[in-house]
Structure 1
């Protein structure tokens, strides 16, 4: 009986997939830098500590939805804007040459 193991194609990623908090943090920092603003100014408008915003930007902390909304708003963004920007920077999931679904045995 044929096992099918000879048809298995190993999946390889070119780089490790970033964490969601890293992708969001990078977008927060990018937008703040683009606007030429200091962490303290954005943090003050958002109602968070500058140290906490710094940790968010570096992808060290996961923000609650309330904090994410406040920080995004302080940068004149919506959570939807921020989510869309962050999702563009995630590495796409690998696909199988034979189709969209890969199964591991």
Structure 2
């Protein structure tokens, strides 16, 4: 039998609640070291978010509506909206159609997205030796190309 009122929502926590340490008693519980607050980790954005942002920026720069671009690209307006918001992963054919509708080539659109990704880039230590030259000591990673994997 349930103990909650029939018209009230019942909340079931996904993780067990941490119980406060027991006070008193004969047993001694070891103290955990106090956690040092870590700076927030800056996550790289998803590719679909970057492509969607590039589509939206370009459409707004041309002062065009979703309806206008979706008709020119032969894509449904709700789908184009979801692409711009980064909710959908589009195929290369759909991206090319959207880019053409905006007067861009597929490479132009992907280059705009890649430029945005480079702003979020965190220098990687992968593949660098500890005795590397001073040229690799630069705090900013440089991307001169675009690689797409299907």
TM bucket (normalised to shorter chain) is 0.7 to 0.9
Relative to total residues, which structure has the larger helix share, 1 or 2? Answer: 1
Structure of higher CA gyration radius:
2
1:29 pairs, out of 38, 44, 56, with: 56
Cα-to-partner distance string for 1:36-94 (whole Å, 9 max, x where unaligned): 00000000000011000000000000111111110000000001001111001112143
CA contact (8 A) 1:13 1:94 kept: no
Q: Distance in 1 between matches of 2:50 and 2:76?
A: 21
1:1-105 to 2 correspondence within 5 Å?
15-90=42-117, 91-96=120-125, 101=127
Q: CA RMSD in A?
A: 2.1
Q: What's the TM-score, normalizing by structure 2? A: 0.55
Residue ranges of structure 1 left out of the alignment (5+ in a row)? 1-11
- Structure 1 runs of 4+ with >6 Å offset: none
Aligned to 1:51, the other structure's residue is in SS state helix
SS in 2 for 1:61: coil
Aligned length: 89
Give the superposition deviation at 1:14.
5.3
